[in-house]
Structure 1
Amino acid sequence: MPTLSLTTDGPLSGSVTVPGDKSISHRALMLGGLAVGETVVTGLLEGEDVLATAAAMRAMGVAVERRGGVWHIHGVGVGGLLQPQTALDMGNSGTSTRLLMGLLASHPLVATFTGDASLSRRPMARVTVPLETMGAQFTTSPGDRLPLTMTGACPAVPIRYVLPVASAQVKSAVLLAGLNTPGITSVVEAVPTRDHGERMLRGFGATLTSEDTPDGRVIAVTGEAELRPQVLTVPGDISSAAFVIVAATIVPGSAVTILGVGVNPTRDGLLRALTAMGADIVRSGEREVGGEPVADLTVRHAALTGIDVPSEWAASMIDEYPVLFVASSFANGRTTMRGIEELRVKESDRIAAMATGLRACGVAVEELPDGLIVEGSGGEAAAGGATVAAVLDHRIAMSFAVLGLHVRAAVTVDDAAPVATSFPNFSGVFEQLGARLNPSE
């Protein structure tokens, strides 16, 4: 089993790019598959999660080809997906699973979803409940988990669904199901979540409205849509850039520029949190790419001060909390992060896994039911010297690799394999900035 360990003898410096945004890449493949004609995508994330989505779309009759780094998707039209002949293997990808369940829920076909051990532990009821209301039927494993089999409804029934928890995956699943459902399907969210799905649906020609009401934001899509193919460029994933941002912030003397990062305001909570703690992050070259705001980010080492992170920021940075825990380890004073119980049902229980690994590396933490309190070192290097468990979770693995850049003794992540799900060239990017990859076992 390959391990992962990064060290550095000095500052990180240089300019890098990070892989394309994972959320946008999934949606580009799915909506391209429902448009009539050829959608062309550059910058698509070629990690295992997105490749699982591509394979599933192929299994349902969509021609998906990669030619010279550019992806070509020949869509079959809304309602035109075919019965898959084998189970759809989602690997580690919760996003693929939940969004595809929505996409297929209003099609007259039967699909079985399987996944790896980590994905098979993740609950799916938050998606199956609204989709059952629309008419889809599910047979799940105990605990509403994978493997599961779904029988789509055609015609499905339009619904108005109030999100019980903030979740862009559930929102997108319901809206995707609404594409092939007669009438208007709507979702009400009390807390705004990432809006890539809405932006892209509009770009592909769907009739979609968004209105702020006393109950929250109401997003509605008109069904039996006709989607138009698009030419798309996927911006760099801020969730991947987060590891570089935190590394440059904690390693003394560092100055790094990350080019072409998506800075969608529904995704920039980490930038707000780090800036509030004193981080030196400068945006330049702000522009729009494929309907998404993009900027170059220059990050310099800075002293951080612990804060109480507002829980209302959680939806805009939920995937970035593990690496924010790392940044907090080097702050002056205490950082309190609450309202993030969602992390307990990600690829792993990210609160528990990070707390265990941080303690092993000499960081004082207090685990809460809905969060974590981290006592920072005031900028001093952490003790390190531990081998920590990735627990089949790419963000846990990469977070501890970043921690290892400012420790007294090397930190080793026990399993590097999960990193390929979202950031296949993670080690290469850090080596480009001056870090050193320790030999793997």
Structure 2
Amino acid sequence: MLSREQTFHVRPGGAVTGQVRVPGDKSISHRSIMLGAIADGVTEISGFLEGADCLATLQSMQEMGVKIDVLGHGHIRVNGVGLHGLKTPVDPLDFGNSGTAMRLMTGLLAGQEFNAILKGDQSLSNRPMGRIIEPLVQMGATIEAAENNRPPLHIRGGNPLTGICYEMKVASAQVKSALLLAGLYASGETCVIEPAPTRDHTERMLAGFGYPIQRNDNRICLQGGGRLKATRVEVPADISSAAFFIVAATLMPGSELLLEHVGVNPTRTGVIDILRLMGANIDIFNQSEVGGELVADLRVRHAALHGIDIPEALVPLAIDEFPVIFIAAANASGTTRLTGASELRVKESDRIKVMADGLLACGIQAQATPDGIIIQGKPGQVQGARIDSQGDHRIAMAFAVAGQCASSPMLIDNCANVATSFPGFAALAKHVGLDIEINPSC
């Protein structure tokens, strides 16, 4: 488990410049291991994110008998065991800080013949799992959880699953993906109806592994009992990681930054759409398709931003990027309002509350609401402060960006979990112009 005793020390800096490629997409990396493990044959993965979250997924599959070779530099070889080849894990499967891994794996394991226990760290143990337990139980699974449907989760094997048609109450790619993975083991058809579009990496990757899937507007369906065929997966750079550098370059005068080979799946580009509505100067070029995923280079130049009412339709398409979007809003002229984002309260931290508290400490008016936030932006008015990231990687990196344009140094505590999604963040940030050091917490 990662130590939380780490502090980022960020001094105000200048322009953000250069050409970089951020690490591989976390969502795609998780799914590549899961589907590669239950496919027939050997799946070769390049660009895999070797962060703690994705390595927890990799280790869990190894503990269920899958031979996985870690060849270095993001190259992974998965020797698939087929849909019914997983073995009983001897010990509980530990997913650390990763809600994605736990929720998706719960769906995948719901239809197995063996029992499994899924656990996580203190943060993950406080995150709600009822949203996946309810529909999986409707399919026939037996899942026991701690109080208030929190982890650890005990999955009782040997229960035959039956496909259902499930209309999601809240737009969530994790719920959708858990049900589709369970549907692989169910008799009949499993359908998920989305209230709004969410990231579609699972559907795209299932198709890439040769598994038939039907998509009709907001309805996604598959038949159980098929087979997955091993393939090659090239993981693009993670737009969620790129977002920190997009905002940093936008905010600092004289900046021009090129971000290479970024995944621009239409269900993930809400951060670009929102920042452009605020006035950001972001060019997308060299677009191509790699393994069913759209990738492109992004060029970002400094631009003056203004506050906006964030369209609710974009919320599910930018749900992981809001911490750094809030930093952009703090440096924009006027008011930015976010609604329809109650999901942010049940992430690695209550991101609405933690970000609002942090912005207030930096001298920016920020009012948390039940499903969003109201930020009164003032360009050039962010003050240095000491921020507790609450062990949330995206909070830590967001305030590191804020420190670049603050009036005095920014100290951000509890930053070790940045390694869950972005190993090497501080070094890459320094490479493009941020003045950031990692120190033991004091």
Q: Same fold (TM over 0.5)?
A: yes
Q: Match of 1:48, as an amino acid? A: A
Q: Check if 1:124 corresponds to 2:124.
A: no
Q: Check if 1:50 corresponds to 2:54.
A: yes
- How far apart, in 2, do the equivalents of 1:167 and 1:373 lie? 23
Q: Check if 1:161 corresponds to 2:166.
A: yes
Counterpart for residue 63 of structure 1: 67
Q: Is the 8 A contact 2:23 2:47 kept in 1?
A: yes
| Percent identity of equivalent pairs | 49
Q: Check if 1:418 corresponds to 2:414.
A: no
Q: Is the 8 A contact 1:14 1:257 kept in 2?
A: yes
- How far apart, in 1, do the equivalents of 2:373 and 2:13 lie? 30
- How far apart, in 2, do the equivalents of 1:292 and 1:152 lie? 34
Q: Is the 8 A contact 2:14 2:404 kept in 1?
A: no
Select 1:203's aligned residue among 201, 204, 208: 208
Counterpart for residue 382 of structure 2: 382
How much is the aligned-residue C-alpha RMSD, in angstroms?
1.0
Shift in Å, 1:182: 2.1
Secondary structure at the residue paired with 1:150? strand
- How far apart, in 1, do the equivalents of 2:157 and 2:307 lie? 49
Q: Match of 2:187, as an amino acid? A: P
- How far apart, in 1, do the equivalents of 2:270 and 2:72 lie? 34
- How far apart, in 2, do the equivalents of 1:145 and 1:8 lie? 40
List, as ranges, runs of 4+ consecutive aligned residues in structure 1 with deviation greater than 3 Å: none
Select 2:195's aligned residue among 190, 193, 213: 190
Shift in Å, 1:153: 4.4
Q: Match of 2:170, as an amino acid? A: V
CA displacement 1:391-436 (0-9 Å, x = unmatched) = 1211111111110000111111112201000001111111110222
Q: Match of 1:372, as an amino acid? A: I
Q: Is the 8 A contact 2:280 2:303 kept in 1?
A: yes
Q: Match of 2:193, as an amino acid? A: V
Shift in Å, 1:439: 5.3
- How far apart, in 1, do the equivalents of 2:343 and 2:436 lie? 32
TM-score with structure 2 length normalisation? 0.97
Distance 1:299 1:271, change over 3 A: same
Counterpart for residue 303 of structure 2: 302
Counterpart for residue 403 of structure 1: 402
Q: Is the 8 A contact 1:8 1:434 kept in 2?
A: no
Counterpart for residue 332 of structure 1: 333
Counterpart for residue 246 of structure 2: 245
Q: Check if 1:179 corresponds to 2:180.
A: no
Q: Is the 8 A contact 2:11 2:408 kept in 1?
A: no
User: Aligned runs of 1:94-173 on 2, under 5 Å?
Assistant: 94-173=99-178
Counterpart for residue 16 of structure 2: 12
Q: Is the 8 A contact 2:40 2:81 kept in 1?
A: yes
Q: Check if 1:78 corresponds to 2:78.
A: no
Q: Match of 1:127, as an amino acid? A: I
Q: Match of 1:192, as an amino acid? A: P
Secondary structure at the residue paired with 1:139? strand
Counterpart for residue 434 of structure 1: 433
Secondary structure at the residue paired with 1:315? coil
Secondary structure at the residue paired with 2:355? helix
Counterpart for residue 394 of structure 1: 393
Q: Match of 1:198, as an amino acid? A: E
User: Aligned runs of 1:280-319 on 2, under 5 Å?
Assistant: 280-319=281-320
Secondary structure at the residue paired with 1:319? coil
User: Gaps (5+ residues) in structure 1?
Assistant: none
User: Gaps (5+ residues) in structure 2?
Assistant: none
- How far apart, in 2, do the equivalents of 1:138 and 1:155 lie? 13
Q: Is the 8 A contact 1:135 1:152 kept in 2?
A: no
Moved more, 430-439 or 246-255: 430-439
- How far apart, in 2, do the equivalents of 1:228 and 1:174 lie? 20
Counterpart for residue 349 of structure 2: 348
